[in-house]
Amino acid sequence: MKTFSIAKSRRLRSTPYTSRIEKQGVTAYTTYNHMLLPAAFGSLEDSYHHLKKNVQIWDVSGERQVEVSGKDSAKLVQLMTCRDLSKSKNGRCYYCPIIDDDARIINDPVVLRLSEDRWWISIADSDVILFAKGLAIGNKFDVKIFEPNVDIMAIQGPKSFGLMEKVFGEKITNLKFFGFDYFDFKGTKHLIARSGWSKQGGYEIYVENTKSGLELYDHLFEIGKEFNVKPGCPNLIERIESGLLSYGNDMDLSDNPFECGFDKYINLESNIEFLGKKALQKAKSEGIKRKLMGVKINDKNIYLTKEEKLFDDKQKTIGFLRSAVYSPRFKMIVGIAMINRDYCKVSQKFKINLNNKIISGSVCSLPIN
């Protein structure tokens, strides 16, 4: 695979940690919310095995926040998502599909309720801030919407709990999954959530004080030596095996939440009002025509930059492959695909044209097992 460099500019923002991760050996970037996001530190497989056994520190500053505050902030946030937030609590995170009036997915952020009238929408790669401002203006909501200066570092892996306890004390071990609180580091309070884009466990530190954040970053690496800490980034192998969906890769504006398996985050029976509710009710009554599923493909090499068609023995299209990677665990390619309804069966066979070769594969569940 040929590699290319990224030309940095003001439009493609560096992060406070960029100089550090470049000294630590980052070998590839992608872009996320107009910002650099590390994509590799050497071998993808080596990083995968390390993540599952140890602890990594990720620069995920590209996971930007949209802050919504003011008298009508709760109304606006609820209008954006099909998940019922009427009983949400301060200090909790909520996974919330954001949809438009046609019930198409605009984003799948984690929403943090900081207070009754102050929220952070921690977004995947898209311009949610413009969508939020448009709804606020159209509905004449009394809100303030902006992107705060928050640069997240993620501490991920099974040894993350020991490392974080050593820095912040026993209190942090009491933090429940998708809960957050403020923890002190040398006189500066940092919002820390028990969350992250892996299934290996860990935390996300929402850094608002850059100077303190850089000191914390360095400190974590210094005292983390006994935990075999290394720099890392969201790992494609671990993500796909775990069934963690990526907006822009596995789903986009052409999909609705039912097709993506978000049923438990869709609250059509409640009295809440949200954009796209009627469209979602119609989609439910008609039934889905396709669904995201896992797939296994009997080959080792794949480099996916667009959807690839999956077909049966009669050349009939059964779906499209959206994400894929070689898995050292399964000794084959694993992926996430949008499969047509009639073929959404575990062990459904298919074929795919990869590198001018016809390769066989089968449909499986998510997470992949």
Residue 92 pairs with which residues in a beta bridge?
113, 179
pLDDT bracket for residue 366 (50, 70, 90): very high
List all residues 6 or more positions away from 148 whose beta carbon is below 8 Å from its beta carbon: 65, 67, 120, 208
Q: Which residues constitute the domain of residue 367?
A: 289-369
* Domain containing residue 319: CATH number: 2.40.30.110
Residue-averaged pLDDT of the chain: 97
Q: Does residue 3 lie within any of the structural domains?
A: no
* Domain containing residue 94: CATH number: 3.30.70.1400
pLDDT of 200-218, one tens digit each? 999 999 999 999 999 999 9
134 and 169 in a single domain? The answer is: no
**Number of residues in the chain:** 369
Q: Does residue 158 lie within any of the structural domains?
A: yes
pLDDT of 133-162, one tens digit each? 999 999 999 999 999 999 999 999 999 999
57 and 177 in a single domain? The answer is: yes
Choose the final residue of a domain: 225, 240, 255.
Answer: 240
Q: Does residue 266 lie within any of the structural domains?
A: no
* Residue 337: pLDDT over 90: yes
This prediction has a pTM of 0.96
183: tokens are 């923890």
Helices (H) and strands (E) in the chain, counts: 8, 21
Q: Does residue 254 lie within any of the structural domains?
A: no
Return d(Cα 362, Cα 355) in angstroms, integer.
Answer: 18
158 and 41 in a single domain? The answer is: yes
Return d(Cα 304, Cα 306) in angstroms, integer.
Answer: 6
Choose the final residue of a domain: 172, 206, 240.
Answer: 240
Q: Which of 83, 292, 88, 95 is nearest to 197 (CA)?
A: 95
User: Left, alpha or beta for 363 (phi > 0: left; psi -120 to 50: alpha)?
Assistant: beta
Cα→Cα distances 349→260, 354, 366, Å? 21, 16, 16
Domain total of the chain: 3
212: tokens are 């303190």
* Residue 191: pLDDT over 90: yes
List all residues 6 or more positions away from 7 whose beta carbon is below 8 Å from its beta carbon: none
Q: Which residue has the tokens 């494609």?
A: 236
356 and 221 in a single domain? The answer is: no
Give yes or no for a contact between 108 and 248, defined as CB atoms under 8 angstroms apart: no
pLDDT at 6: 83
pLDDT of 270-327, one tens digit each? 999 999 999 999 999 999 999 999 999 999 999 999 999 999 999 999 999 999 999 9
Return d(Cα 98, Cα 110) in angstroms, integer.
Answer: 10
Burial string for 13-26 (b: 16+ CB within 10 Å, else e) reads: bebbbbebbeebeb
**Residue 241 main-chain phi, psi, to 5 deg:** -60, -35
Return d(Cα 167, Cα 256) in angstroms, integer.
Answer: 42
224 and 297 in a single domain? The answer is: no
SS3 334: strand
Is the omega angle on the peptide bond into residue 367 within 30 degrees of 0, that is, cis?
A: yes
230 and 169 in a single domain? The answer is: yes
Judged on CB neighbours under 10 Å (0-12, 13-18, 19+), 93 is: buried
33 and 97 in a single domain? The answer is: no
Q: Does residue 260 lie within any of the structural domains?
A: no
120: tokens are 């952070």
User: Left, alpha or beta for 102 (phi > 0: left; psi -120 to 50: alpha)?
Assistant: alpha
180 and 167 in a single domain? The answer is: yes
C-alpha atoms less than 13 angstroms from C-alpha of 133 in its C-beta half-sphere:
8
Residue 24 pairs with which residues in a beta bridge?
none
SS3 62: coil
Return d(Cα 210, Cα 223) in angstroms, integer.
Answer: 20
163 and 303 in a single domain? The answer is: no
Q: Does residue 258 lie within any of the structural domains?
A: no
137 and 213 in a single domain? The answer is: no
* Domain containing residue 219: CATH number: 3.30.1360.120
For the chain, where are the alpha helices, taking DSSP H only?
A: 18-23, 44-53, 73-80, 128-138, 160-168, 210-223, 236-242, 277-286
181 and 47 in a single domain? The answer is: yes
* Residue 8: pLDDT over 90: no
List all residues 6 or more positions away from 99 whose beta carbon is below 8 Å from its beta carbon: 80, 81, 82, 105, 106, 256, 257, 274, 275, 276, 280
pLDDT bracket for residue 10 (50, 70, 90): confident
C-beta neighbour count of 173 within 10 angstroms: 12
Q: Does residue 282 lie within any of the structural domains?
A: no
Q: Does residue 8 lie within any of the structural domains?
A: no
pLDDT bracket for residue 353 (50, 70, 90): very high
* Residue 1: pLDDT over 70: no
Choose the final residue of a domain: 216, 240, 264.
Answer: 240
52 and 199 in a single domain? The answer is: yes
